[in-house]
Structure 1
Amino acid sequence: MTEDANPRQGRTHYFILIAVVVAAGLSQGLLLPVLAIFLERMGISSSMNGLNAAALYVGSFAMTLVAERLLGWIGFKKLIVSGLVLVMLSLVAFPLIPSVAIWFVLRVLVGIGDSALHYAAQLWVLMMSTSQNRGRSISLYGMSYGLGFSIGPLGIPLLHYGEAVPFAVLAVLFLVILLVVWFKLPNLKPEKSESGSTQPSGRYLKSFRLAWFALLPAFLYGYMEAGINSNFPVYGLRSGFTLGEISALLPFVGIGGLVLQLPLGIWSDKFGRKRVLSIAGIVGGSCFLLVPAAGTNFWAVLVLLTIAGGLVGSFFSLGLAYAADILPRLLLPAANVVASFHFNVGSIAGPNVGGAIMETGWNGGFFILLGGLYILFASTGLWFKIKTRSQA
């Protein structure tokens, strides 16, 4: 892959990619709670609600298996365009076909499309950055996704104007970004080695063995993100919150992550990423544990969700940064793939496990398990020792 040397053009391409990832965040941040509300109103059980929500991450997981090969065949721009088209068409179909079974299929398609554009855009940003600005570029990229994901639930009140309105707004947004990508981005392809092959075999297992503590945060982040957005609307309705209160509370998990992402990155540079991950896991997990005790106290729940989301909302990026500290450069691409797998597995597990727990009647069990997982992760850090150092 060869990016243009023109700095202004490079910045233009970068901000177009940022717009792409904001749209991806918006689609997931709005679809999860809106469809969860629809299914709850239809009398669908919380466990089935969670299973339906997990379909999005089934599609994302499936796309991860073939994204690298597809990228080599069609290039960055065409993969992004394909993802945008797939999501846009699915958004149009949701209100037209109000069927739980069809929605499951459509969510799989949205997951495939979102994963395709996210994979291509993230890798493009990584490859067009230099060693001097790569951390800042990836940080802004991650914050942009979080911004889109956080803004998404604010679209819930659009339901007052019609059940199809949120989907129509998202579809129009995707169409605009699709046109910008098509006319403004070049269709670059990733560079290949002289042999035309990829990395050595066994790289995924080796990267996990050397950096499992740095790669597990991706699972926890996916579990939290999907679980909160899919299960909290159901938790809130059953606990006594109004639809407006649920819409107002949901974004603060992401807002907390946006506010603390840069400070946590700075602190991890200064005090060590393992220490910051452990402290954030313990404090953030404890805040999740306290949510059921706060009952329907709006402000107490808001504060707890903001602090918890702020502390664990950077787990994916902090984990990858820690993996980069630990692993040789040769294993970093494999580590990114492993982290993506973990994120998708966590995203599939979150809505299903949380829905199954609430199905038993233990409404607060969703937050108890979520908080416990973060505290357990922090505790395992006591056994993690670095076995190798990053090599230049």
Structure 2
Amino acid sequence: MSMTRTVSQNSTHYIILIAVIIAAGISQGLLLPVLAIFLERMGVSSGMNGLNAAALYVGSFGMTLVAERILGRLGFKKLIIGGLLLVMAALMAFPLFPSLGLWFVLRILVGVGDSALHYASQLWVLMMSTDRNRGRSISIYGMSYGIGFSIGPLGINLLNYGTAVPFFALAALYAALLVVVLLRLPDARPEKHSGSAAETRGRYRLSYRLAWFALIPAFLYGYMEAGLHSNFPVYGLRSGFTLEQISSLLPFIGIGGLILQLPLGIWSDRFGRKRVLTLSGFIGGISFLLIPFAGTNFWMVLILLTLAGGMVGSFFSLGLAYAADILPRAILPAANVVASFHFNMGSILGPNIGGAVMQTGWIGGVFVLLGLFYLIFSSLSPWFKGSPFKL
């Protein structure tokens, strides 16, 4: 039975996939700031803090290299189950073994598990969409992740009830979701394509050649997401914000994305994804550049984070949708791997570059560099002449 046919038979399956993405978003949105706060309180340098945070994306990067082959062998359901089990086990180990070195290993395991969840679910959603509704479908997927990522930082408040509470609460959520996946999700597999040599060899190279501009947003989104959620707690504490203010501000990055995710997806269907990506990157870049000038003005920082998050919160999903517009269907699994590779590279570099910049004393440099990267991306738009390609 084909993957597309399986999903179309029961909308419950689609809802379960969305729930998986929400849980993955909560996991990353909570772990990054909570562990960053722990390490800051332990006196760990901002550079080492960022390096430790990047471990999650080292694991995710490693999983990306083998995700396509594992999915082909196991199928969607088994890959999702494996990801849920791995993350759940790591979550319960964090508070039991408060060691910087062990946390690095546990973060790698969380990265492997989250990457498995992301790859299986986003490819499933992407391949069952059509040219006419792809922007809307992938935006709903992105909104779901954004919901989870926005809820995640609120878990900081659970620290008031004990250092282990956020981790065990998240593990309980994964356990409940695991039961649902076991009982209700079908054992579907991706469709296999047999065709020309171009379809079976050099697919990654072909993805780059035909859709390089559409694949850059995944890198920028990973850089922004991991960089801000790892570095902003440190930035906030050193700038003079309270812990409560930091936990209140962080969700607005995701809230902005939630507000504009679906409108941007619909507009990309109507006006073109390249145009929407270019304009969003420009406005988002300017917004990030202005944040250091807002100082400790809570409301001004909140507005700028919301605007920036709204503009670039759709970058990963819209970039994938744009790649799906350009590339033939047989290349989409490979393009999905490339996008995940870019996301993980950005996620690894974001916390490290941001932490290194703050260690020099230039704490505002975190946002200056981030803004410049988005502006550079927008300036590349005229050099890309992507058009649909069929083998």
CA contact (8 A) 1:329 1:390 kept: no
Q: Where in structure 1 are there 5+ consecutive unaligned residues?
A: none
In structure 2, what is the equivalent of residue 12 of structure 1?
Answer: 12
Mapped partners of 2:72, 2:8: distance in 1: 27
2:322 is aligned with 1:312: no
- Give yes or no for contact 1:324–1:390 (8 Å, CA) kept in 2: no
Deviation at 1:274, TM superposition (A): 2.0
Pick closer, same or farther for the CA change 1:352–1:338 going to 2, 3 Å.
same
1:60 is displaced (CA, Å) by 0.6
Give 3-state SS (helix, strand or coil) of 1:230's partner.
Answer: helix
- Match of 2:325? 325
- For 1:317, give the aligned amino acid: S
Quote the Cα distance in structure 2 between the aligned partners of 1:306 and 1:278. 18
Total equivalences in the alignment: 391
Q: Structure 1 328/182 Cα, relative in aligned 2: closer, same or farther at 3 Å? A: closer
Partner of 1:145: 145
Q: Which amino acid aligns with 1:288?
A: F
Match of residue 110 from structure 1: 110
Shift of 1:206: 2.2
- Whether the 8 Å CA contact 1:4–1:10 is kept in 2: the answer is no
**Amino-acid identity (%):** 72
Give the Cα separation in 2 of the matches to 1:123 and 1:319: 13
TM-score normalised by L of structure 1: 0.94
Which deviates more from structure 2 when the two are superposed, residues 358-367 or residues 123-132? Answer: 123-132
Say if 1:130 and 1:276 are closer, same or farther in 2 by CA, change over 3 A: closer
Q: 1:63 to 1:323 in 2, by over 3 A?
A: same
Residues 213-241 of structure 1: CA deviation (Å, up to 9, x unaligned) = 11101100100000010000000000000
- Over 3 Å counting, the alpha-carbon distance change for 1:88 and 1:205 in structure 2 is same
* RMSD of aligned residue pairs (Cα, Å): 2.1
1:167 alignment partner AA: F
Segment of structure 1 superposing worse, 323-332 or 213-222 = 323-332
Aligned to 2:220: 220
CA distance in 2, matches of 1:384, 1:74: 37
Is residue 139–residue 318 contact of structure 2 (8 Å, CA) maintained in 1?
A: no
- TM-score (structure 2 length as normaliser): 0.94
**Residue type matched to 2:259 in 1?**
V
Residues 278-297 of structure 1, C-alpha deviations (whole Å, 9 max, x = no match): 22111111110111100000
Distance of aligned partners of 1:383 and 1:60 in 2 relative to their CA distance in 1, 3 Å threshold = same
The residue that corresponds to 1:21 in the other structure is 21
Shift of 1:9: 5.5
Tell me by how many angstroms 1:277 deviates: 1.5
Structure 1 residues 76 and 268, CA gap change in structure 2 (3 angstroms): closer
Answer yes or no: is the 8 Å Cα contact 1:32–1:230 preserved in 2: yes
Mapping for residues 326-345 of structure 1, pairs under 5 Å: 326-345=326-345
Q: What letter corresponds to residue 216 of structure 2 in structure 1?
A: L
Deviation at 1:385, TM superposition (A): 2.5
After superposition, the C-alpha distances for 1:152-206 in whole angstroms (9 at most, x for unaligned) are 00110100110000001001000000111111122222333458x9942222122
Q: State the shift of 1:261 in Å.
A: 1.1
CA 1:262–1:191 in structure 2 vs 1: closer, same or farther (change >3 Å)? closer
Whether the 8 Å contact between 2:236 and 2:246 is mirrored in structure 1 is yes
Aligned-partner Cα distance in 1 for 2:164–2:331: 45
What CA deviation, in whole Å up to 9, does each residue of 1:321-380 have, x standing for no partner?
Answer: 222333344433322221111111001110000000001010101100000110111112
Rounded to whole Å, the distance in 1 between the matches of 2:228 and 2:190 is: 35
Would you say the 8 A contact 2:193–2:330 is kept in 1? no
For 2:345 and 2:4, locate their aligned partners in 1 and report how far apart those are by CA, in whole Å. 36
Asked if 2 retains the 8 angstrom alpha-carbon contact of 1:214 and 1:320, the reply is yes
Residue 190 to residue 329, structure 1, CA distance change in 2 (3 Å): closer
Equivalents in 2 of 1:82, 1:253: separation in Å?
30
Q: Quick one: distance in 2 between partners of 1:73 and 1:303?
A: 46
Instruction: Decide whether the 8 Å contact of 2:158 with 2:165 is kept in 1.
Output: yes
Local SS of the residue matching 1:282: helix
| Alpha-carbon distance change, 213 to 126 in structure 1, aligned in 2, over 3 angstroms | closer
CA distance in structure 2 between the aligned counterparts of 1:185 and 1:198, rounded to whole angstroms: 33
Partner of 2:271: 271
Q: In structure 2, what is the Cα distance between the partners aligned to 1:329 and 1:162? A: 49
